[in-house]
Structures are given as C-alpha cells and as structure tokens.
Amino acid sequence: MVAVPLLLLADEIGPDQHSLEAVKANAEKGDVHAQSNLGLRYFKGQGVAQDLGEAVKWFRKAAEQGDAAAQFNLGSSYDNGQGVTKDNAEAVKWYRKAAEQGNVNAQNNLGTCYVNGQGIDQDYAEAVKWFRKAAEQGDARGQNNLGVAYYKGVGVTQDYAEAAEWYRKAAEQGHALAQSSLSVFYYCGLGVTTNYAEAVKWCRKAAKQGVPLAQTNLQTFEAKLSMVNPMSPENANVGGTDDSTMPTLSLEKFDIADDYVHRANVSLSQNNYDAAWADFNKAIELKSGLASAYFGRASVKEAKGYHNEALDDLRVFLKIQPDAQAYNTVGVWMWTHCFYEKSEEYYTKAIELKPDFAEAYNNRGAIKSFKSIYGSTRLDEAIEDYDKAIEISPDFAQAYLGRSSVKRRKGDMDGWQADYNIFKSIQSKIK
C-alpha cells in the first residue's frame, strides 16, 4: 500500500497572490489561510529563505485552528522529520485530524500507518476504512490501495473481482501501479475474464510510465497475444503474422508448455506454491528451453526458502535469454526479494549490454536512491542515472518522478518542483 511520499503541498503559490508582507501581516493576526500559505512559502523557499522549522511553526498555527491541509502538512512534517524531530505518533495524530475532515492525502497516509503499524498499532481493517474513504472520493491512490487490500485479503475478505474494479478506477485515472496490476489480472484471469488484448493495453500504459514489473511483463504479454489473436488491434506494434516469426518446432507442445506457465503464474499469485512448482516443472519437461518457466520457478523456490536453488534457475533463465531485457528482469526480481546489491549488479549488466536502455538506468537510479537512505553519498549517482534515462527517453515519466524525489532529499526544492511538474504533465497525456 502506497502512502503519499514526502510532504505534499496543499496549495501552489502563484505570482498573483498577496504579497509576502501582506501574508505575514495576516498570518500574525491569526488568519488561518495566511498561516497555511506562509508555511508553504517557508517550506518551498518562495519569496523567503527556505526554513523548514519556520514552515512547521506556521503549519502548526493553522492546524491548531482546524485547517485540514495544514494538519496534513504538519503530520507529513512529523512523518518525514522535516523541520521537526521525526515522530510517528504525532504524524498519526495530525493525519487523523485532517483525514476526519475528508483530506484524501491524509486518509491515504493514515491508512498506510495502520498497515505498517507506524505510530499506531497495526490494524488492517482500520487501514481499509481510510483507504475506502479516499477511494470513494475518487482519489486514485486510495483506489489502488483498496485494490491491493482486496487482492491480498488484508483487512477485508479476499475478492479478486472487487480488487480488479478498484484497480480499474485508479488505472483509468493514470495510476501506474494500478495499470500494471490490472494488466496482470487480465493476463491471469483474476477477477475478470482472461483478455490478452486488455492485458497488453494496460501493461503498455504502465510500462510507459516506468513501472519495472510492467516493463518486464510486456514482452510476455505481447507474445501471448500475438499467438492467440494475431489480428488484434493491440498487436499493431507487436509484429506481423508471418509464420516465420512463430516457433517452427512442435508448436502444439510450445502452446501447452506456455499454458502450464500461465496456470503456474496464477497459482503463484495466490501463494499456492506447490501447484505453481508442479506446473513450472511440467512446462520445463515439455520445453526445456522455456525461459519464463525457469524465471517463475525461481520465485517459487525463493518463497519456499530454497534460495540457492532459486539462483540456479535464474542462471538458467539468463543462459537461455542472455540479453539486456533479461538482466533487467532479474534485477527487478532481486529488488523485489530485497537483494539490493545484486539488483544493482544486474541493472549494470543490462546497461553494459544495451547502453541506451532507459529502463535499466531508471531502475539503477532507484536502487542507488534507496540505498542512500543509509547515507547520502549515492544521491548524486542516482541523479546521474535518472539524467541518463531521461536523455534516452525524454517522456519517461517515472524517471522524472524518481529524480524529483532525490532532488528533494538534497534540498533542491526548485528542481524537485520542476521535475514533479514534468512527471504530472507526461502522466496527464497517458490515456
């Protein structure tokens, strides 16, 4: 479940708003909107020297008068330790006040606090309550979080159809992770009728926004669609229907093996590891060179605690498919399973094989940014990777978002805002 990252500003400060002197004067007189506005100016360093402590001071004054946006910003300040000592319990206190007034960002973050047991006792049902409140107001983050809850059966009875419905609502608003999840649902037939054209459609949208899992899945989804429905409009960018592009040996056996992988992936998504393992084994028995079967079986083995055996399957996967995309895919796998050092190694190998691989640069930037939580020495390296991803692919939305986050952590608020605005602009064009 995804919280609103860092501190989200309640309002933008435009050039036509009141002068700084007037805002200060009104804030000193107790005007709640002026106090909130002044807090934002200090937070952004707009018209004044940036001062996070002073920002918190004015957020607090407005929050204590009941301003929901200021309450959210104050909670986020405590959540992230910006201008005040990090205090999860205080963050929850102010998130709750804002959430109870209907602030969707606070509702999402309060729900996430309940999921993680951060500043409050873990309570999945309470988390779902707040995600639902945000979702029912049309907030895409809340809709995605509610979809995750129904998919995993966390705080609610597991219901794939309900999960698919909430993912769809978020996906239609351009939420990248929801688009990726919805694509998997269509591919595996979870809560919806299997539809490879829909799987490809949503996977492309998510991949275009830089979601690593979607970028990994897209080739598989397109290949499946090409085989079962070569005349589909979604196949326009996949390739022609020339028989020479299809497998030439034992096509029937290939299809059967592929179907075993499909069923195994469904079982894997439901944590039915024994069934998944059996089907991946059967796929490999039918077609020993089916790379996707080894890759899937590695995830099963890792889930069952057979780490070395999982690595053996990944090595076979890379031996069968030793290209940049495969190394990037294994990098994502390593990231997902928390092997961060190895993840970076595989992303680097992908870049060596394909120097213009924007997705691999983006993913490596994310790893360096993540690892730099334990020390700031790698933030500059992360920005270099994001810069390269953007140079290669100027419309790569996720790279702008990642770079904006790093710039914010480095205190470059103008750079953060500029990159975030570009991200939103690109995202708004994705229909």
The winner for highest mean pLDDT among 23-27, 227-231, 394-398 is: 23-27
Q: What's the pLDDT score for residue 238? A: 38
32 touches 73 (CB < 8 A)? no
Of 79, 102, 122, the residue at which a domain comes to its end is 122
* 264 and 312 inside one domain: yes
| pLDDT tops 70 at residue 6 | no
Q: What is the CA radius of gyration of the chain?
A: 24
Rounded Cα distance, 297 and 289, in Å: 13
Report the Cα 320 to chain-centroid distance in Å: 29
* 353 and 305 inside one domain: no
Of 122, 139, 154, the residue at which a domain comes to its end is 122
Q: Which residue has the higher pLDDT, 254 or 323?
A: 323
Tens-digit pLDDT profile for residues 78-114: 998 999 999 999 999 999 999 999 999 999 999 999 9
User: Does any domain span residue 159?
Assistant: no
User: Does any domain span residue 359?
Assistant: yes
Q: What's the pLDDT score for residue 369? A: 83
Average pLDDT over every residue of 361-374: 77
* 358 and 312 inside one domain: no
Range of the domain at 77: 20-122
User: Does any domain span residue 294?
Assistant: yes
Other beta carbons within 10 Å of 353: 16
* 291 and 354 inside one domain: no
Nearest to 204 by CA among 229, 227, 228, 186: 186
Q: Provide, rounded to the nearest whole percent, the portion of the chain with pLDDT above 70.
A: 87
Of 322, 355, 384, the residue at which a domain comes to its end is 322
User: Does any domain span residue 114?
Assistant: yes
Q: Read off the pLDDT band of 210 (50, 70, 90).
A: confident
| pLDDT tops 70 at residue 206 | yes
Q: Read off the pLDDT band of 229 (50, 70, 90).
A: low
* 116 and 27 inside one domain: yes
Q: Read off the pLDDT band of 371 (50, 70, 90).
A: low
User: Does any domain span residue 256?
Assistant: yes
Rounded Cα distance, 111 and 92, in Å: 10
Tens-digit pLDDT profile for residues 263-295: 887 788 777 888 889 989 988 887 888 888 899
| pLDDT tops 50 at residue 245 | no
385 touches 362 (CB < 8 A)? yes
Look at the pTM and tell me if it is higher than 0.85. Answer: no
| pLDDT tops 60 at residue 193 | yes
Tokens of 394: 């100027």
Average pLDDT over every residue of 305-334: 89
Tens-digit pLDDT profile for residues 393-422: 998 888 898 898 888 888 888 888 999 899
* 280 and 348 inside one domain: no
User: Does any domain span residue 12?
Assistant: no
The type of residue at 222 is: E
CATH number of the domain that residue 35 is part of: 1.25.40.10
Residue that has been written with the tokens 């002068």 in this structure:
19
* 31 and 105 inside one domain: yes
Query: Into how many domains does the chain fold?
Result: 3
| pLDDT tops 50 at residue 4 | no
* 314 and 359 inside one domain: no
User: Does any domain span residue 175?
Assistant: no
Tens-digit pLDDT profile for residues 36-88: 999 989 988 888 999 999 999 999 999 999 999 999 999 999 998 999 999 99
* 116 and 25 inside one domain: yes
Q: Read off the pLDDT band of 142 (50, 70, 90).
A: very high
Q: What's the pLDDT score for residue 72? A: 93
Q: What's the pLDDT score for residue 162? A: 95
Rounded Cα distance, 168 and 333, in Å: 25
326 touches 315 (CB < 8 A)? no
* 96 and 66 inside one domain: yes
Q: Read off the pLDDT band of 377 (50, 70, 90).
A: low
Least confident of 44-53, 360-369, 422-431: 422-431
Mean pLDDT score of the chain, rounded to an integer?
Answer: 83
User: Does any domain span residue 167?
Assistant: no
Other beta carbons within 10 Å of 223: 16
